[in-house]
Amino acid sequence: IVDTPEKLTSAAAELRQYKRLAFDTETTSTDALRCNLVGLSLAGSEDKGFYFPVGHAHGEQLSLAEVKKTLQSLLDDPKIEKVAHNAKFDLMVLKQVGLTVSPISFDTMIAEWLVNPDSRNLGLKSLAWIRLGTEMTRIDSLIGTGKKQISMAQVSIASAASYAVADAVMTLRLLKPLTEDLKSHNALTLMQDLEVKLI
């Protein structure tokens, strides 16, 4: 959890060492153009990630301005590839708060669709279970459902952090098996030359 200026500087320095970063956003709703950013997760390895809380109702966190100032040069560094699951949503959310992310090199949701257009596992949690045998925490275990549902902003930073970082880390873990499947289906070029550019 990156919640002090010192941790922010340290996290950015560590993340800058990687050639590829996975990113994910936590928001107050699923409407990318109307939601508020609650936090951002970044991972450069399959074993560790960082959560940058900026919009939680409670708990120590940095201002969005501080996080933007430190992370923008990292997020649009042309030497560092960026990957995500359903990148379009996260890109729109970040654009709304003035953060740009590039270059995008892979989207695990689109990769699964290219390999199997009839797939019922386009969601990250389902994909991680089917492809990696890993059971991830479901969003409703954090925010509930129905009348008792709360916003992600009301979830504790600690709970949101483990959930958000798992999303970024799992995206990195899915890269290898999905890339291999794209190759075996002769769809890797389609992913790189068309789908990624359309994102």
Mean pLDDT of the chain: 95
> Any long-range contacts for 123-127 (C-beta under 8 Å, 24+ apart)?
124/85, 124/86, 124/167, 124/170, 124/171, 127/85, 127/174
CA dihedral 148, 94, 82, 189 (to 10 degrees): 90
Please list, residue by residue across 95-112, b when 16 or more beta carbons sit within 10 angstroms of its beta carbon and e when fewer do: eebebebeebbbbbbbbb
Q: Provide the sign of the torsion angle of the four alpha carbons 165, 38, 160, 140, taken in this order.
A: negative
> What's the whole-number mean pLDDT along residues 142-167?
93
Confidence check: pLDDT of 149 > 90: no
Cβ pair 2, 52 in contact under 8 A:
yes
Least confident of 16-25, 29-38, 137-146, 179-188: 137-146
> What's the whole-number mean pLDDT along residues 180-184?
95
Confidence check: pLDDT of 194 > 90: yes
- Give the model confidence (pLDDT) of 58-109 as tens digits: 999 999 999 999 999 999 999 999 999 999 999 999 999 999 999 999 999 9
The band of 21, judged by pLDDT with boundaries at 50, 70 and 90, is very high
- What amino acid is encoded at 10 in this protein? S
